[in-house]
Structure 1
Amino acid sequence: MAKVDYAALAPQLLEKVGGEGNVRSITHCATRLRLVLADESKAATAQIKQLPGVVTVVQAGGQYQVVIGNDVPMLYEELGRITSLGAADSGTEQPAEEGNLFDRFIKLISALIHPVLWTLAGAGLIKALLALLTTLGWMSEEGTTYTILNAAGDSVFYFLPVVLAISAARRFKANEITAVAIAGALVYPDIVALADADSVTFIGIPVVMASYSSSLLPIIFSTWIQGYLERWLKRVLPSTIRNFMVPLLVLAIMVPLVLMTIGPVTTALSNGISGGIQSLFRIAPWAAGAIMGAFWQVFVMFGIHWGFVPIMLADYDNPGYSVMTAPLFAAVLAQAAAVLAVMIRTRSAQMRQVAGPAALSAFLAGITEPGIYGVNLPLKRPFIAGCIGGAVGGAIIAIGGGASSAFVFPSLIAMPALLQYGNVVVTFIGIAVAVVIGFVLTLVLGFNEADAAADSDSDEDTTEDVEASAEPTTTLGAPVAGRAMPLEKVSDPVFSSGALGGGVAVRPNGSGRIVVTAPAAGTLVTVMDSGHAYGIKTDDGVELLVHVGLDTVQLEGRGFSPKVTVGQRVARGQELAEVDLEVVREGGYDPTTILVVTNTASLAGVVPVADADVEADDVVVEIDH
């Protein structure tokens, strides 16, 4: 099949549906571009069907559906570039977020940090190695070799807002390059230098500066607002100036807005919390130590920790040590211990691959970002276990008067900084208690392996699974238990006509929640946000679509609980999603699940072999290469 030029197809399609003015909204599902037209009679349907890349056209349910196949997101993206339609309405494909505010926050952070997770893990190991080499005296921090390697290991942490801008822009449907430019402005050297300035103003308005290096929330908040601002500007600006005026106005508005809003808020919170804890160290040291041990990682996450740094630095000048720093050893090492426990307990090979380096970098160098964002926080319970361990250990350290004689990253290598002040024995007991609690609680409380699969893009694919998937795919398993039947019996003409390829349909049995499984081993190339459709490509090139229900995209995720993410490898029979059939049926939708080989034309044969009741993973299709 010839490669389709979607950049060329987009304006042709737009013209033949009556132009942008005739399109009220546009969304897409796994295979179809779904348009709501003001006047469907203006659409040249016969001509649209002849366009390269268009499979067919279906007019149903008040929608004008242009069937494209697996590459429909590419056409949708091109339409978004030349109109304001795609960007403005893309949010309709997003499912309603489930869970409380904390759960939704964790899912958001996990999703945004995941693309950079492996880089964080690798960079953390470089930092750990450098810390070890300098502690042993095998490398000098003054040498150029150290400077170069430290830049390699530290850059992703320092410029974390720039890195997160990319994934945040994708999440919030904002322009990625503009988001990166905004993040770059936050860590621009001249802006960083203004944090020490006596007075900063913008058009005469005082600006309270803060440090944004290594921060998360400022760029997430900024990109969220950016997405709304861009979509509004695309609607109101004339097309003749839209391309350059949208980024111009977004940059001119967002950079000052972030500096004038987030800076003052984080600074006020930092100063208030750090000042209160400093006072608490004088009144009730154990309570202050517990707070520092329990919440330090939370402070870091919100960027509030910068308010503590000036106090710590002042303490090193007079009286020469910092009691606020010592409990941080308990906070960091308890989280490291929790990561280590996850590595030992998890059944996921990929989670172990993340947790191992993350635990090492946290223990040796105090670099907790890979462990926190890639392991503990997505799994929730290990993070809580680490906070509990940090609280108990921090309280013990503070009771013993533990203090740090140097400004260091809390880690095993940096522990000599704790040898000069306070009761050293009690300090080390506090650290040991923190580590034991974080480790043991994680092992005892455990965690949800489904969370591990969803949030860290891992699964239980063993070496045997991967090797097995290299074998030719000759059969496909039923994605659900139920009544198998030919596609011709499906009421949806796109599937029943075979326009998308050969396959089989399965009408699920019973009611309540069912499990949808992978019909073959391979890599997920499509996972709809609504949870109703999954595209899998096997190692030998078979392209599959599992579509749960007919027209169920309209449910916008209600009743669907995806268990996998794009790019993840799955074994045959592995769970893809849970579906509540009652929600589907109450919404008026047919739950019949479709299994289609979308590249049927490139294969010698795709033959359905079942027209009877089947169990999940029973053979329902045979493939001939």
Structure 2
Amino acid sequence: MSDDKNHVTAAAVLPLVGGADNVTSIAHCMTRLRLGLRDRSLVDRTALQAVPAVLGVVEDDTYQIVLGPGAVARITQAFERLVAEQRSATPAGAATTDTTAMTAATTAEELAAQGAALRAARKRKNATPVKLLLRRIADIFVPLIPALIGAGIIAGVNGLLVNLGWLPGISPALTAIASGFMSLIAVFVGYNTAKEFGGTPVLGGAAAAVIVYAGVAHVSVLGQTLSPGQGGVLGALAAAALAVRVEKQCRRFVPESLDVLLTPALTLLVTGLVTLFGLMFVAGEVSTAIGTGATWLLAHGGAFAGLLLGGLFLPLVMLGLHQALIPIHTTLIEQQGYTVLLPILAMAGAGQVGCAIAVLLRLRRNSSIRATIRSALPAGLLGVGEPLIYGVSLPLGRPFVTACVGGAAGGSFVGFFNMLGATVGATAIGPSGWALFPLLKGNENPGTTVLIYAGGLAVGYAAGFLATYFFGFTREMLTGLDTDPATPPTATATATAPAEPAPTPATAPPTG
């Protein structure tokens, strides 16, 4: 039955993105189906957002359809099968008749249009060299998230069993399963880096493998012996990027007849020597500084640091700068077994949920916005915030600010306990909200860690709700927004007598 549901969703989405011939690439991350499209003008965005399983749409370097955790992997598989079937069975440009049925169910909302305009503006602003580089770095780590989550959950279960003294015989096996991926994560980072920057992926993986090879313990640099894994994912990223550069240079001067022999050998030799005698040491120092800095920050300024991190995370997402945190999270997980930053940043989502509930209560007559919130809230509770951000708070304006207030309050709560010595971390990146509970880990017993995180969520919900309820709307905003968009007299007045004073449409963006 579940497969049928995923197939129906994929079949509804495909014609709305221009059909199989318009799709150039298919991938997915934790929550989004990421599509490369030849012509984005063929996308029926309004109908796409009306598909029941679609939680939101984000236009970036790829066209991203938010489907939520769990569902996205299954729908992606069904989508890939449909694309393959249509390419082999239908002529180019063919379309199915499903579009008509979906379009009939569409409700065109001005808030959604405003959110789309804000997304487009953000995309234009994000097209800077630094932000494009950060986006590419994010694309290196995003495919690793499922394995990080799987290993993190197994590590958490193993820790619980050890603390309870249950099944001691299985603990070594669970440790091996949970730790195997993390011990070789540098290789996967190297592979993805070379793939992302246009090199041979396996050469990038091979260059990064030098870092985790046990034999580096016999190599001395400036009188210091290297340690296996020194430099971690940052060293792997640098080594693979260098390998791509060396490989491309080799292609320029190595004769074609010798390319298959000399280019791989020279790439690994040059990159390996630079990695061993330079990159590992430098990256190791940077990685250590990141771990020390994060620990010091929360130990000495926990509440204030949490307030800043939780309050500014949503704006960071809007600017595309949050992608710079992905390698930092991964470095902390590699070093300490968990990242202390993610549970604090997750509080931004709690503020967003509290904000949405307040909007739901304040706009009791606006059936359109209330329907959007009701459909997006479950995803928001699980940490998928895009539908609420782009469909509600951001286009409304002031509620986006009050949502940040909720995130700041929740982040300050969790940060305060970190300052007291009770660290709260996550063993993987990607999930947040309630979905982060199975991945929580800290230096206290699991029950204390869960209670602190749950308390942070509760504070974030409450602060986001109160800030939005009392300060999220001006009188003018409420007058214009708290009306029923389906009321015939309003629709007639605005359509036939635009020169006369009339209530602002219920879903229009705020003017104050």
Report the TM-score range of the alignment, normalised by the length of the smaller protein: 0.3 to 0.5
TM-score normalised to the size of structure 1?
0.36
TM-score normalised to the size of structure 2?
0.43
- Structure with the larger strand share: 1
Larger Cα-atom Rg: 1
